[in-house]
Amino acid sequence: MEPKTPHLILGTAGHIDHGKTSLVRALTGIETDWLPEEKARGMTIDIGIAHLELTGGTLGVVDVPGHERFVRTMVAGASGIDLALLVVAADDGVMPQTREHLEIVGLLGVPHAVVALNKADLVDPAQLGAVEQEIRALLRPGAFAAAPIVPVSAVTGEGLPALRRALEEAVARAESRRRAAFFRLPIDRIFSIPGRGTVVTGSMLGGAVHVGDRVELLPSRQELRVRGLQTHNRDIQGLVSGQRTAVNLVGLKKEDVHRGMELAAPGYLTPTHCLDVEASCLSSAPAAGLRSFVRVRLGLGTSEVLGRLVILEGKHLSPGGGALCQLRLHEPVVAEFGQRFILRDETAARTVGGGRVLRPVARRISLGRAPAECQTLRRIAGADEAGRIDQVLADAGTDWTPETAVAARAGATIEVVRQAIAALLKRGVLVRVPGLDYAVHTGALDALGERVCRFVKRYHASNPQLVGVDPGLLDRTFQRAAPAAVLEAALARLKQRGALVSKLDRMVALSTFQVEMGAGRRKLWERIRQELLDGGFKPPTADGLVALIGTRPTAIKEILQHAEAQGDVVQVDKGVFIPAETIQRLKDKMREFEAAHGPFSVSAIREYVESTRRYMVPLCEYLDRTGFTCRQGDLRTVVDGA
């Protein structure tokens, strides 16, 4: 088969001393052991890099250590590979790290593998056949059951042409596993070049990068400029995903970067201490499996971070089982939707499980909310790109989330994100909020509205004598939860649905709320009402009532607010409250005056009802506003039918 021009990366796997590094050297002519300690001990300790020339292109190669103490390094090297080369020595057969490395590449979702049965020159045909059967039995339960097994000797060169053909056939079937919509590079090696500064290397997971581009170092969020790029020891101006990459960065000190950090397009990835995931426990894990809140080591990209596994469905994950979980981490990480990860026990003695990320930026889930959150996570797991974008925007709440970040959290391209946002706006799922330059998800508005209603309900319970909540108090209470414009939009939705009502033009109350007035307050209201009625068209003001009745101003204010909300009085000016009966009498007087004299001025009606300008001007303006009268110049007439 003719292979495609590959932008693919091959990773080795296998037990220590089974010949991974020597086999890479025999295939590529490149020595991947680069540390002095490796050369002195004859043992791979760190990740080694090479490239394999194939018919139709160049395959990047990542060689990893096989010793059990360096599984963490193996996971970092395997995180970006598309094709695994499992190396098994014919004189040893399947060994512990053979099994663990195979489990790791399976958990990472590597779709294709080729097995090199190395050191074939050291055994007789019978033993070679027996080891091949052992390998086939190991592969049979998993995704690599049909992987080719090629006997080979890195020392004599026996089988190398056949191994190369097997790799070319695998590459022809393979497709790049790159998901990232933008540039992303988990860092696996760091070094300095005199006169040029710090260089980092890794396997590009997506997008493209060019000399001069601005990139972000994560999780520290330091923005840097790309000074130079290399792939396979060649300087180049730009690179695309699927290539091994060396990036020379301006302004970065070697001590400020370490394996596990990442480079990405600015704004694409968001550091987090919490991930919502689908997790599984390996069948080979201890019989006790994994219990909730157990401490684990997360292998994600090239990083390894300590944290706790919180099982959201039950309290226990049995060997071979899976569940929705949350990872709560001691250090921040960055991830995308669908990214694969590895779980090792706290002591890093063995691999116990793995899975994929569903929410790359999550909030802590209380166990009480777990059932509802699991329903959401199951929807995310089964949703298409549009459905995931909808949920990402709902999860973002009232905060602005850049389209690039939405792409990472939903596992979508920027074009799909923009199309989905346009569709959500058209359907009314996203709404434009006046004063903001971004749309807000109605789910976030409704969630904020529920919090507001709970607050108002508590306020009513504590203040049953008050008409409602002052909007200023709501602004102060929810200023950290949402911008003022978003709060106003949430209140508008609640009022439109009838959950909240406005009282006295400003106060906010539940539509079902009724002010409680005890016997003492009812008696005080009767006294206030009588004073207002006795005052006729020039009743006492609120301050005057305090002086007349001799009670606290706040008591007078609260009772007048309640009376206004009930429609018993109207506040026509600051401190001026007119009983509804008095307003009705004034309307009758205006009709009577107009019938006898025609249109009337404020002065004329003031003299007619024996009032003063202090009262009559705001009263006439109130009747204008409410449509009872119509003003033309200085004269007014009663509107027909009013």
Residue whose token pair is 């201890």: 286
pLDDT digits (tens, 9 = 90+) for 362-405: 999 998 899 999 999 999 999 999 999 999 999 988 888 889 99
Average pLDDT over residues 534-538: 92
Higher-pLDDT residue of 310, 178: 310
The reported pLDDT for the residue numbered 307 is 97
CA distances from 99 to 137, 199, 280, 386 (A): 12, 34, 17, 39
The CA distance from 168 to 179, in Å, is 23
The CA distance from 370 to 534, in Å, is 63
The reported pLDDT for the residue numbered 178 is 54
The CA distance from 244 to 47, in Å, is 12
What backbone phi and psi angles, to 5 degrees, belong to 116? -100, 115
Total residue count of the chain as it appears in this document: 642
* Contact between residue 527 and residue 519 where contact means Cβ atoms under 8 Å apart: no
Higher-pLDDT residue of 533, 34: 533
- Residue 51: both structure tokens together: 């490239």
**Residue 419 confidence class, pLDDT cut points 50, 70, 90:** very high
Residue whose token pair is 């039995």: 137
Average pLDDT over residues 83-111: 91
Return the H-helix or E-strand segment holding 85: strand 83-89
The CA distance from 624 to 531, in Å, is 26
Q: Give the angle 276-277-279 at the CA atoms, nearest 5°.
A: 145
Cβ-based neighbour number of residue 107 at 10 Å: 22
**Residue 34 confidence class, pLDDT cut points 50, 70, 90:** low
For residue 220, the one-letter residue type is: S
Output the pTM of the full model.
0.79
The reported pLDDT for the residue numbered 336 is 95
**Residue 603 confidence class, pLDDT cut points 50, 70, 90:** very high
- Residue 588: both structure tokens together: 């009758």
The CA distance from 625 to 22, in Å, is 92
- Residue 20: both structure tokens together: 């991974």
What's the per-residue H, E or C state across 388-422?
HHHHHHHHCCCCCCCHHHHHHHHCCCHHHHHHHHH
pLDDT digits (tens, 9 = 90+) for 473-518: 999 999 988 999 999 999 999 999 999 988 766 789 898 887 776 6
Q: How far apart are the first and last CA of the chain?
A: 91
What backbone phi and psi angles, to 5 degrees, belong to 380? -60, -45
The CA distance from 535 to 539, in Å, is 4
Cβ-based neighbour number of residue 412 at 10 Å: 25
Q: Long-range contacts of range 171-174, CB-CB < 8 Å, 24 or more positions apart?
A: 171/3, 171/4, 171/6, 171/8, 171/54, 171/59, 171/83, 172/1, 172/2, 172/3, 172/4, 173/1, 173/112, 174/6, 174/8, 174/82, 174/83, 174/111, 174/112
pLDDT digits (tens, 9 = 90+) for 264-301: 999 999 999 999 999 999 988 888 889 999 999 999 99
Secondary structure class of 443 (helix, strand, coil): helix
Average pLDDT over residues 620-631: 93
For residue 508, the one-letter residue type is: V
Helices (H), 79-188: 96-107, 125-139, 160-173
The reported pLDDT for the residue numbered 4 is 43
- Residue 502: both structure tokens together: 């406005």
Average pLDDT, the chain: 89
For residue 509, the one-letter residue type is: A
pLDDT tops 80 at residue 49: yes
Secondary structure class of 50 (helix, strand, coil): strand
For residue 270, the one-letter residue type is: T
Average pLDDT over residues 200-229: 93
Q: Name the nearest CA neighbour of 426 among 386, 385, 392, 376.
A: 386
- Residue 275: both structure tokens together: 């991930």
Secondary structure class of 575 (helix, strand, coil): coil
* Contact between residue 354 and residue 341 where contact means Cβ atoms under 8 Å apart: yes
Q: Name the nearest CA neighbour of 227 among 212, 244, 246.
A: 212
Helices (H), 228-283: none
Q: Name the nearest CA neighbour of 181 among 337, 6, 4, 358.
A: 337
The CA distance from 266 to 270, in Å, is 10
The CA distance from 354 to 110, in Å, is 13
Sheet containing strand 112-118, edge to edge, reads 48-54, 57-63, 9-13, 83-89, 112-118, 149-151
- Residue 484: both structure tokens together: 């003022």
pLDDT tops 80 at residue 198: yes
* Contact between residue 203 and residue 50 where contact means Cβ atoms under 8 Å apart: no
The CA distance from 467 to 501, in Å, is 11
How many Cα atoms are found within 13 Å in the side-chain-facing hemisphere of 165? Answer: 9
Contacts of 145 (CB under 8 A, 6+ apart): 139
* Contact between residue 549 and residue 566 where contact means Cβ atoms under 8 Å apart: no
Secondary structure class of 457 (helix, strand, coil): helix
The CA distance from 505 to 559, in Å, is 17
Q: Give the angle 402-79-37 at the CA atoms, nearest 5°.
A: 125
The reported pLDDT for the residue numbered 412 is 93
The reported pLDDT for the residue numbered 505 is 65
The CA distance from 235 to 246, in Å, is 9
**Residue 181 confidence class, pLDDT cut points 50, 70, 90:** confident
pLDDT tops 50 at residue 5: no
pLDDT tops 90 at residue 348: no
β-bridge partners, 317: 290
**Residue 3 confidence class, pLDDT cut points 50, 70, 90:** very low
| Active site members | 17, 20-21, 67
| Complete domains list, the chain, with CATH | 9-173 (3.40.50.300), 184-264 (2.40.30.10), 272-375 (2.40.30.10), 444-510 (1.10.10.10), 520-642 (1.10.10.10)
Helices (H), 383-509: 385-395, 403-410, 414-427, 442-462, 471-477, 484-497
pLDDT tops 90 at residue 26: yes
What backbone phi and psi angles, to 5 degrees, belong to 16? -60, 140
